[in-house]
Amino acid sequence: MAALLVGVGSPEPPFSGMPGGGLDIDLMTALGSAVGESVEFIAGEESTDFGAVLARLAAGEYNCVAAAVSITPEREHMVAFLPPYVISGQGLAVDTVRLPQVRSIDDLSGLTVGVQRGDTSESIAGHLLAQGRVAHVRVYDYGAVGTAVADLTAGGCDAVLGLAPALSRLVSQVPNVEIVQSGGIATEQIAVAVNPADQTLLARLQVAQAELEEDGTLQRLRRKWLGNPYVDQSLAVR
């Protein structure tokens, strides 16, 4: 293998697109070193749907995808996964000046929720819509979640659902926009996706990741990028 080809999708701080890289970049660099392979990161081509990134992995264009990928049953039919390196949840962001009454997904009646196309938040919002708990779902192209957050103040949407660590980083830059709920929506198991045709690589990476957990490398990386060393981000930081 000339190099481990790793798809990283669109920038999604703190996983990628950060000064110095990001959690996914450091993780794959460490995994590559552990299995004796150099790593080539490939930014996702312009795509409106995250599903296209995983489709390219399944087609053999990448060896792995490290892009804050949540494990879902549908995705497990397409690709293989390493054990999760982060367990987190969905976050709900609102402009607390414009909509101070919204404190959780139970307060969204009559409102429009923004989600990213192909993200697990899209299916969650779809369930809320089917149950009549939101009025509309606005689907933003993959990579445009920053636009969704900006629209909270402008009124293009009323709330945004997304992976809590990434959404928290985005809203920290937008006045009056806050995460009002980060637990109790959905649990997301974030893992590296691997080309299912390469079972040998999958096994090598599984062993390498276990070793990186055992020697404390992954704890250090999670603390560096997320502020919390634990796989389960709901656990209190000590």
Highest mean pLDDT among 15-24, 93-102, 150-159: 93-102
Per-residue confidence (pLDDT) for residue 60, from 0 to 100: 94
| Cα dihedral sign, 230-217-202-8 | positive
Catalogue all structural domains in the chain, each as residue range(s) with its CATH number.
4-85+191-226 (3.40.190.10), 89-181 (3.40.190.10)
- Predicted confidence at residue 72, as pLDDT, reads 95
- Integer Cα distance of 84 and 181 in angstroms: 22
Name the residue with higher pLDDT: 237 or 99.
99
Q: pLDDT at position 134, please?
A: 98
Kindly tell me if the per-residue pLDDT of 47 is higher than 60.
no
Token pair of 41 as six digits: 């990161």
Q: How far is CA 147 from CA 92, 94, 126, 167, in A?
A: 15, 13, 20, 12
Residue 229 has pLDDT above 90, yes or no: yes
Mean pLDDT along residues 8-19: 85
Write the pLDDT tens digit of every residue in 55-114. 999 999 999 999 999 999 999 999 999 999 999 999 999 999 999 999 999 999 999 999
Average pLDDT over all residues of the chain: 92
Continuous segment of H or E residues that includes residue 149: helix 145-154
Dist CA 184 CA 43 (whole Å)? 32
Least confident residue range of 38-47, 57-66, 156-165, 215-224: 38-47
CB atoms within 10 A of CB 4: 21
Alpha-carbon span 124 to 156, nearest angstrom: 19
Q: Which pLDDT belongs to residue 107?
A: 98
Residue 17 has a pLDDT of 83
Greatest alpha-carbon pair distance for the chain in Å reads: 55
Would you state the pLDDT for residue 35? 97
State pLDDT tens for residues 122-138: 999 999 999 999 999 99
Crossing angle between the packed helical segments 199-214 and 217-226, to the nearest 10 degrees: 80
- Alpha-carbon span 52 to 218, nearest angstrom: 28
Q: What is the pLDDT of residue 44?
A: 65
